[in-house]
Amino acid sequence: MTPAQLQSKLDELLRLPAETEWFEFKHNNDNPQEIGEYVSAISNGAALHGKRTGYLVWGIEDGTHSVLGTNFRPKQAKKGNENLESWLFRELSPRIDFTIHEFERNGAPIVIFAIQAANSTPVRFGGEAFIRVGSYKKKLKDFPEKERRLWQILSESPVDWSAQLVESATLGDLDDEAIAFARVQYRQKHPQQDAELDRWDDSTFLNKVKVCVGGKVTRAALLLLGKPESAHLLSPAQARITWVLRDEKKQEKDYQHFDLPMILVGDKVLQKIRNLTVRHLPSGTLFPQEVTQYDPWVIRETLHNCIAHQDYTLAGRISVVETPDTLLFTNLGSFIPGTVEEMIRSDAPPEVYRNPFLAQAMVNLNMIDTIGSGIKRMFTRQRERSFPMPDYDLEDPKKVGVLLTGEVLDENYTRLLLSQIELDLTDVIALDKVQKKRPLDEESFKVLKARNLIEGRRPNLFVSAKIAAATGDKAAYIKNRAFDKQHYKDMVVAYLQKFDVANRADLDVLLAGKLSDALDTRQKKEFIKNLLQEMKKAGIIVPDGATRWAKWRLSKPAPEGGVSR
């Protein structure tokens, strides 16, 4: 900024009624750690408020906005033996631009830090992200609503990390085997260009598939096709996938790292996964099928989606954790479409992508399905195999987890998918939650209930009689369905007729095993408690002794055949 622009900016800030989340007035605070934390907080605050730049100003009294001047001289300041400015840059992640301006207002020294707003991920200092709340600096993680909103704003940023040119990289940094494999994949995806493909040299080919721009190497090109030794050109981003094998007790048994080029990693990871053969229907059918635990296409699509949607500015790796019955894929970055159900229900690609340049290149190279349709196809293929649906863990705004289950969890659900009952994919996903004992949203619950596909009380829902009849699993239905309350009242009366008196523990033993399997232990106890109170109010039984330790007796002899209705 010119001297006139600095004076104008200071006037603008002084006119504001109070400090906001994107600027701060200081007097003489020169503590390096405090300054770094404020840079993080103001950068994140500026992004939250749609500002391109935030400001940290020394020489102004907080509250009165009086111009006092400052003794702080940042360009001469040090942290240990290192210049303060370079130390701050080194501790910030991702690295953002901030400019230090020193000038005077009416003879009083003033310092302004002009701080770039966060543009792809919250800015951290020393590994911790900060935010201003009112006039206080706080850790961002302690304010989840602000953190969630900030991630949402940053996810919609037009900056595409993957499209940026790597000025120091050349075509010589790309792997010949990876380029050859890319040609094979492109030929499969675009057979109509078969003749042209043979005439293209590597530079032309890479421009055509849109991983290079004018013969210059992009981050997407390095990520997909780079030599292993070229990974440093993407630093601080990590271009690595880690596979971990764990046993039934979650103990680590084996692991392996996979580095550039990412276009060759999918098959290598697939070879490590123990995709065992399982009996599809171990009971309930005369024709059990033998299938693999996982569909190789679903594994590749899931892994390639992690590559396409990883937030590389967070400098983390993609992980694949294998247990005897599951595969868990994890990549860093929020799930931009919102929810999986919304994406499938809309049946349209999302409007915003984290790495659109990279994603389009991966589509061109036959690595992922048409943008936006791959997730739906994953669910459809799992349905066709009658296996559990993929589970998306979106609780952490900085991470997405996808769990594939390689076993039949509920034979009733599996038989349902093999039955003739017509279900759309959203119904199948909702029923998959029921089999996994997971909560349903209100809309899904109403739809399944209206179609008589589920019974029970939330959260203890189970397969309905309609499905049981269609799939031949009437026994499970009877086991889950509760008898009429009158049945249990008759049991209590019969017990008291025989033994005269019973304490609560006796009645728990009598009834608990007969109650619906859809109820947990606590709910069974609550059911019995309410049942006894109903019988007391009806004058059928009476307590004998103190309320807490009461024993129960019949209030009068009951008629033969149980309690009168």
> What CATH code is carried by the domain that includes residue 61?
3.30.950
Assign residue 331 the CATH number of its domain: 3.30.565.60
185 and 276 housed in the same domain = no
Asked whether residue 287 is assigned to any structural domain, the reply reads: yes
∠ CA 199-183-226, rounded to 5°: 115
Element (H, E) at 98: strand 98-105
- 284 within some domain: yes
Whether residue 513 sits in one domain with residue 434: no
Alpha-carbon distance of 124 to 398, in angstroms, equals 13
Return the DSSP state at 423: -
- Provide the pLDDT for residue 521: 83
Nearest to 34 by CA among 119, 132, 104: 132
How far apart, in whole angstroms, are the C-alpha atoms of residue 563 and residue 488?
Answer: 10
- List Cα–Cα distances, 260 to 104, 218, 334, in angstroms: 52, 14, 24
The pairs formed by 313-318 with CB atoms below 8 angstroms and a separation of 24 or more are 313/94, 313/120, 313/121, 313/161, 313/237, 314/121, 314/398, 315/93, 315/94, 315/236, 315/237, 315/238, 316/238, 317/238, 317/240, 317/241, 317/242, 318/240, 318/241, 318/242
Specify whether 217 is located in the same domain as 253.
Answer: no
Residues 11 and 79 placed together within one structural domain of the fold? yes
Whether residue 110 lies inside any domain: the answer is yes
CA atoms within 13 A on the CB side of 305: 25
* 214 contacts 165 by C-beta, under 8 angstroms: no
Is residue 458 a part of any domain in this protein?
no
The CATH number given to whatever domain includes residue 499 is: 1.10.10
Q: Are residues 290 and 431 in the same domain?
A: yes
Residues 502 and 521 both lie in one domain = yes
Same-domain pairing of 390 and 247: yes
Asked whether residue 34 falls in the same domain as residue 51, the answer is yes
Of 182, 202, 234, the domain-final residue: 234
Give the 3-state secondary structure of residue 298: helix
Identify the pLDDT of residue 463. Answer: 62
In this predicted structure, what is the pLDDT of residue 76?
92
Per-residue pLDDT at 286: 47
Residue 207 inside a domain? The answer is yes
The H or E element that residue 82 is part of is: strand 82-83
Domain finish residue from 158, 181, 207: 158
398 & 336 share domain: yes
What pLDDT score does 314 carry?
86
pLDDT in the model for residue 378 = 93
- Both 510 and 544 in a single domain? yes
Task: Quote the tokens at residue 251.
Answer: 């103990």
For residues 364 and 478, give the distance between their C-alpha atoms in angstroms, rounded to a whole number: 53
Domain boundary among 135, 158, 181: 158
Based on the domain organization, do 214 and 251 belong to the same domain?
Answer: no
Note the pTM of the prediction, 2 decimals: 0.59
Which is it for strands 277-279 and 216-217: parallel, antiparallel or unpaired? unpaired
Residue 460 lies in a domain: no
Residue 354 CA to residue 363 CA, distance in Å, equals 15
Which pLDDT score, from 0 to 100, does residue 179 have? 97
CA distances from residue 215 to 175, 208, 232, 241, 290 in whole angstroms, order as listed: 15, 10, 20, 28, 49
In a domain, 504, yes or no: yes
Q: What is the pLDDT of residue 346?
A: 64
Stretches where the chain sits below pLDDT 70 are 18-19, 155-158, 280-289, 338, 345-353, 370-372, 410-412, 414-416, 418-421, 463-484, 517-518, 545-549, 557-565
Domain limits for position 152: 3-158
For residue 400, being part of any structural domain is answered with: yes
Q: Distance between CA atoms of 139 and 148, rounded to whole angstroms?
A: 14
Beta strand pairing status for 212-213 and 216-217? antiparallel
The pLDDT value recorded for residue 50 is: 86
Same domain membership, residue 113 and residue 199: no
Q: How many domains does the chain have?
A: 4
